[in-house]
C-alpha cells in the first residue's frame, strides 16, 4: 500500500492516537486544530500534553490551525470532532477541500434532529458537494492512551462497500493495531452509541457494590436492547457480537477509563444525576444518547427497559437506586 496523505480534523485524544498509528505506518499525517497551544505542542514537542502529559508521539505528525493547509493534498480525511461540531466542520471542509476524499467518522451518537442514524446525517451534509468519495466510520474498544502506548487493539471499520473497508484496513493495520472490515454501518453505529449509556449503568452498579453477577447481567440485557434497537435500522445480529458491539460494550461499561462509567459512579456518590452532570467537565456521550434513544424507542415502539430507567435517572432526577431495583425485572432476551 502506497503512502496516503491523511488529514485528521481535531486534536483530541482519539484523533491523536489515530495519527500515531497512521504515522507509524509511514503515511503523511496532518492534524487540524483550533487551539494554538496544542498545535505547537504537537509540532515542537511531539506530544499532546492536554491528554497524554509528556508522552511522545510520532515525530512525523504535523499540526496546523489552517483548514486550507490541512486539506491541501488530502486522500483520507478523519472527522475527529464531537457530534455537536460536525455540521460546522463539514461546512469548512467543503469550502477548502481540493478534491474528493475518503471520509472516516469517529464521532459516536445518534441523529437528534431526525431520530435516526448519525451517518445518514453526515452524508447529507456532504451531498451537495463533490467532496465525499466514500463514507466510513471506526468502532470498537480503543481507549486512546492504550493506542498511543501501542498496546494491542482491534476495531472495526464500517464502509458502504466491503472493498473500501478492506482497502482502509490496509492503511490502518499494523503489529499492534488490528482493523477488520464490515458493511453494517447501522449496527456498528448503534452499538457505539448505545454502549455509552449502558456504561453509565455499569458505573452505577459498581458504585453500589452490586457485584460481578449483576454487572454481567447488565451487559447481557444491554446487548439485547442494543440489538432490539438495531433491528429497526436493519442492523445484523453478528455485528453486536464483534468488536464494535460486544467488545466495545465490555470495555466502556467496565473500565474507570470510561467517562460514562465514571459518571455513573459519581451519580451514586452524589445521589443526584443533575449534580453529577454539573461536576463533570468533559463531554459524556451516553447522556445525550440516552435521551435520543428513549425518544426513538417511543416513536418506533421498541421495548427498552434499561433505557427508560437510565433516561429517568438522567433527565427526571429519579434516584440511581431505581436501576438496581428495576433493571433485572422482566428482561426480554433475543
CATH of the domain at 291: 1.10.1040.10
Count of alpha carbons within 13 Å of 251, Cβ hemisphere only? 21
Is the same domain home to 17 and 37?
yes
Residues in the chain predicted with pLDDT less than 70, given as ranges, are 1
Specify the pLDDT at position 84. 87
Answer yes or no: do 60 and 140 share one domain. yes
Listing DSSP states for 96-149 in one string gives H--S-EEEEE----EETTTTEEHHHHHHHHHTTSS-EEEEEEEESS--HHHHHT
Residue 78 resides in a domain: yes
Same domain flag for 220 and 246 = yes
Is 128 within the bounds of a domain? Answer: yes
- Is residue 240 included in any domain, yes or no? yes
177 and 255 together in one domain: no
Q: Does residue 167 lie within any of the structural domains?
A: yes
The answer to whether the annotation marks 120 as part of a ligand binding site is no
Which of 158, 183, 208 delimits the end of a domain? 183
Which member of 4, 121, 195, 206 is catalytic? Answer: 195
Does 235 appear as a known binding residue? no
Q: 250 near 186, Cβ under 8 Å?
A: no
Residues 157 and 116 reside in one and the same domain? yes
Q: Quick one: pLDDT at residue 170?
A: 97
Q: Give me the pLDDT at residue 1, please.
A: 62
Nearest to 302 by CA among 200, 214, 201, 190: 190
Can 195 be counted among the known catalytic residues?
Answer: yes
Query: Do 169 and 23 fall into the same domain?
Result: yes
Same domain for 174 and 192, yes or no, is no
Cα separation, 309 vs 305, in Å, equals 6
Strand-pairing partners, residue 77, are 7, 103
Same domain, yes or no: 218 and 173: no
Asked if residue 150 belongs to a domain, the reply is yes
Task: Tell me whether residue 189 is exposed, middle or buried, using C-beta atoms within 10 angstroms of its C-beta: 0 to 12, 13 to 18, 19 or more.
Answer: buried
Annotated binding residue 170: no
Is residue 306, in this structure, part of any structural domain at all? yes
Question: Which of the listed residues 183, 213, 234 is the one where a domain comes to its end?
Answer: 183
Of 88, 32, 104, 24, the residue nearest 59 (C-alpha): 24
Backbone φ and ψ of 329, nearest 5°: -90, 140
Known binding residue 108? Answer is yes
| 167 and 59 in a common domain | yes
Note the pLDDT of residue 331: 82
Domain around 210: 186-328
244 part of a folded domain: yes
What span, in angstroms and rounded, lies between the C-alpha atoms of 222 and 241?
Answer: 13
* CATH number for the domain that contains residue 168: 3.40.50.720
What are the DSSP calls for 185-248, one per residue? HHHHHHHHHHHHHHHHHHHHHHHTT--HHHHHHHHHHHHHHHHHHHHTTT--GGGGGSIIIIIH
202 & 275 share domain: yes
Same domain, residue pair 114 and 126: yes
Number of separate domains in the chain: 2
Within 10 A of 3 (CB to CB), how many other CB atoms are there? 11
Q: Are 35 and 138 in the same domain? A: yes
State which of 183, 198, 214 marks the end of a domain. Answer: 183
Residue 144 counted as an annotated binding residue: yes
Q: Is residue 297 part of a domain?
A: yes
The reply to whether 258 sits in an annotated binding site is: yes
pLDDT at 59: 97
Amino acid at each position: 500500500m502506497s503512502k496516503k496523505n491523511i488529514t485528521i480534523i481535531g486534536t483530541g485524544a482519539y484523533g491523536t492516537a489515530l495519527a500515531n498509528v497512521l504515522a507509524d505506518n509511514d503515511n503523511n499525517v496532518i492534524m487540524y486544530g483550533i487551539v494554538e497551544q496544542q498545535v505547537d505542542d504537537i509540532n515542537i514537542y511531539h506530544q499532546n500534553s492536554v491528554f497524554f502529559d509528556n508522552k511522545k508521539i510520532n515525530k512525523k505528525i504535523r499540526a496546523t490551525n489552517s483548514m486550507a493547509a490541512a486539506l491541501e493534498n488530502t486522500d483520507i480525511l478523519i472527522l475527529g470532532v464531537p457530534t455537536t461540531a460536525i455540521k460546522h466542520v463539514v461546512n469548512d471542509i467543503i469550502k477548502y477541500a481540493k478534491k474528493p476524499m475518503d471520509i472516516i467518522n469517529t464521532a459516536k451518537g445518534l441523529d437528534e434532529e431526525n431520530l435516526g442514524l448519525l451517518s445518514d446525517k453526515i452524508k447529507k451534509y456532504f451531498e451537495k458537494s463533490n467532496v465525499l468519495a466514500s463514507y466510513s466510520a471506526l468502532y470498537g474498544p480503543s481507549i486512546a492512551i492504550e493506542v498511543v502506548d501501542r498496546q494491542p487493539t482491534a476495531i472495526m471499520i464500517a464502509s458502504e462497500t466491503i472493498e473500501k473497508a478492506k482497502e482502509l484496513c490496509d492503511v490502518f493495520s499494523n503489529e499492534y493495531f488490528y482493523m477488520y472490515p464490515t458493511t453494517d454501518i447501522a449496527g456498528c453505529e448503534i452499538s457505539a452509541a448505545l454502549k455509552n449509556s449502558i456504561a453509565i449503568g455499569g458505573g452505577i452498579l459498581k458504585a453500589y457494590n452490586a457485584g460481578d453477577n449483576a454487572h454481567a447481567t447488565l451487559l447481557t440485557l444491554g446487548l439485547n436492547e442494543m440489538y432490539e434497537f438495531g433491528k429497526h435500522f436493519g442492523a445484523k445480529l453478528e455485528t453486536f457480537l464483534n468488536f464494535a458491539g460486544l467488545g466495545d460494550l465490555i470495555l466502556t461499561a467496565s473500565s474507570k477509563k470510561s467517562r460514562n462509567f465514571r459518571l455513573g459512579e459519581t451519580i451514586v456518590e452524589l445521589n443526584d444525576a443533575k449534580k453529577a452532570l454539573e461536576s463533570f467537565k468533559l463531554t459524556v456521550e451516553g447522556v445525550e444518547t440516552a435521551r435520543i434513544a428513549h425518544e426513538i424507542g417511543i416513536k418506533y415502539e421498541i421495548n427498552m427497559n434499561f433505557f427508560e430507567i437510565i433516561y429517568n435517572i438522567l433527565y427526571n432526577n429519579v434516584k440511581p437506586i431505581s436501576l438496581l431495583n428495576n433493571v433485572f425485572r422482566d428482561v426480554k432476551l433475543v
